[in-house]
Amino acid sequence: MGVVVKKVELGWLDRTYVWPVMKGMSITFQHFIRNLFTSTAKRYTIQYPEMKKEIPAGYRGLHELKRFEDGAIKCVACFMCQEACPARCISIEAEEFSDLNITQGFEEKRPARFSIDMLRCIYCGMCEEACPKDAIWLRNDYEVAAYDRLSMKFGKWDLMNTYAEADGKDRISQDTTPTVPRRTIVM
C-alpha cells in the first residue's frame, strides 16, 4: 500500500536555519523560565519520599484482615481466599473456639494462622472478591518492602494490624474472644 508522503516546502526564512533555531530556543527558554518560577512542589515530578501520588479508588495494595468493633477477627477460616488465590500465597490453619461457660454455648471457626507471602502475592484482589464475610480487604498502601524474605511473610497479626492505628483502632496482639455469640452482637 503506497502512502503519499507530503514534502514540506521550507521558505527561505526556514532554510537559513538560524530563524528556526531561534524559534526552538524561545520554546525551550519559555519552559526554563516557567519551571524556574514554579516551586518544585508544583512541578510535574512527584518527589517520592516527601510527596506521594494520590492513589485512585479501588487500588489493590497491602491486605488487611478486618476486625469487628470488639477487635475479634471477621475471618471464619472458610478457605475461599486460599482456593481463589492464583499465586497460592495464602495459607490458613483453622481452629474452633468456644465459650461454654454460657448456658447456651456456641462454637465458631476462626483462623489459628493466616499468612500471606507478600513476595508471591500478585495483588490481583481475588481473595477480596472470594471472601463471603468481607474479612480480607486490599488497602491503598503500596510500600511493601523488607530487608529479608522472612519478614515479607505476613502473619495473622501483621495482617490484622496493617496500619491499624490510622483507623483509630488500637493495635492488638491477642484474640479478644467474644463471651457471647457473635450474631447477638451483630443484630
Partner 1 sequence: MDKLASLLHMTPAIFWMVVKVVIVFSAVMLLASVWTWVERRGSAMIQDRIGPNRAAIFGKIRIIGLAQLLADGIKFFFKEDLVPEEANKGLFWLAPFLAFVPALIGFAVIPFGKDFTSGGVTYHLSVLDPGNGMGLLYPLAIGGMAVYGVLLAAWSSNNKWSILGGMRASAAMVSYEIGMSLAVVTIFMTTGGYDPAEVIKAQGHLPWAWNIVHQPFGFIVFFTCMFAETNRLPFDFAEGESEIVAGFNTEYGSMKFSLLALAEYSHLMTASALVATLYFGGWQVPFVQNPAVMLSVASFLLKMLFFAWVFVWIRWTLPRFRYDQLMHLGWKVMLPLSMANLVFHAWRMSQGH
Which stretches of the chain bind partner 1, using CB under 8 A? Answer: 18, 21, 24-25, 27-29, 31-32, 35-36, 40, 43-45, 47
- Distance in Å, CB of 37 to partner 1, minimum: 10
- Tell me how far, at minimum, the Cβ of 12 lies from partner 1, in Å: 14
Name which of 15 and 88 has its Cβ closer to partner 1.
15
List of residues 6+ apart from 37 with CB closer than 8 A: none
> What is the per-residue DSSP string for 41-103?
GGSS---TTTS-PPPPTT---SEEE-B-TTS-B------HHHHH-SS--EEEEEEEEE-TTSS
Taking CB atoms within 8 Å and a gap of at least 24, the contacts of 50-57 are: 55/140, 55/142
In the block, which residue shows the cell 477480596? 128
20 or 86: whose CB is closer to partner 1?
20
51 or 185: whose CB is closer to partner 1? 51
Question: Taking the complex as a whole, how short is the minimal distance between the CB of residue 113 and partner 1, in angstroms?
Answer: 41
Provide the minimum distance between the beta carbon of 34 and partner 1 in the complex, in angstroms, as a whole number: 8
Query: Closest CB to partner 1 among 11 and 56?
Result: 11
